[in-house]
Amino acid sequence: MDARSLLTSARYRLRISIAHIPSIYLPLAGLHRRDEDGAKVVTQASDLVVEAFPRSSNTFAVAALQSSQPRKLNIAHHLHAPAQLIKAVRLGKPALLIVRQPMAAVSSFILRHPCVSMSLGLKSWLHFHRALLPYTSGMAIATFDQVTSDLGAVIDAVNARFGTSFNRFEHTTANVEKLFRVLESRDKKLSGDEKINELSVARPSIERSKRMADLELQWQAARLRRQREEADSLYGKFSALAEASDRRLADPNGNPNASGTP
């Protein structure tokens, strides 16, 4: 690893160490100048907070939600830090956490940031979700699969949890394809290149999927077994909360057979 990669890795380790502390991390995050649609820190003026570990459909969710509203919402998003959601809960702001299966999230992340090792990426995933576990009662939770298959239902769950009235995103093929074109244009704008970067663009990518499959051997390394097991356990807890929210939305009266299951 060259000197520049070592420095980037060291900075990322420092970021992990403070990413759960709102009083330290959020003021620092607010100092960075970003593009108009880029990361935004939660404040009293925020209408909603949408956050996730990187590569967990945060971009898709925010863009789709914004596209469905009659006015542009003030959404805090893309810090990829637990401090953002912790602060949102403390402020009583509507907040949505998106969780993705750890191997997929970490592998996609390190493809985009090669200087981050599988070990460091997994450490970051664990830190993010460990820090949020005590605050789950103050936020809505959805899985990556829920967001990417029926975001309208996720928005319904946010509205039910917080008494908000955000418009649904109608998850049709046409609407999704239209949104993907918008995300591709944004990716080109940020990169300054007319060619789409298949490792970074915020929509499904065959190239990325192939490359992620190649990382499975690194993920399965014996030295990562304990961390993998903890990550799988954490993901199970968060996804169970997301599924419970889905069931309550389907039947607010708590009828276990509302879905028609005998």
pLDDT at 256: 39
pLDDT at 18: 96
pLDDT at 212: 81
> What's phi and psi for 34, nearest 5 deg?
-125, 170
Percent of the chain scored above 70 by pLDDT? 88
Query: pTM value?
Result: 0.87
Q: Is 111 helix (H, G, I), strand (E, B) or coil?
A: helix
Q: Is 76 helix (H, G, I), strand (E, B) or coil?
A: strand
pLDDT at 34: 60
The answer to whether 118 and 217 have CB atoms below 8 angstroms apart is no
Q: Which residues contact 233 (CB under 8 A, 6 or more apart)?
A: none
pLDDT tens track for 84-133: 999 999 999 999 999 999 999 999 999 888 889 999 999 999 999 999 99
Residues of the chain below pLDDT 50? 255-262
Nearest C-alpha neighbor of 239 from the set 128, 146, 153, 151: 146
| 37/192 Cα distance (integer angstroms) | 16
Map out the domains of the chain as residue ranges: 3-250
- CA 61 to chain CA centroid, Å, is 9
In 10 A of CB 243, how many CB atoms?
Answer: 14
pLDDT at 259: 32
Nearest C-alpha neighbor of 235 from the set 114, 158, 145, 159: 145
| DSSP 8-state symbol, 93 | -
Alpha-carbon Rg for the chain, nearest whole angstrom, is: 18
CATH of domain 3-250: 3.40.50
pLDDT at 38: 78
With b meaning 16 or more CB within 10 Å and e meaning fewer, what string describes 14-34? Answer: ebbeebbebeebbeebeeeee
| DSSP 8-state symbol, 171 | -
| DSSP 8-state symbol, 73 | -
pLDDT at 235: 98
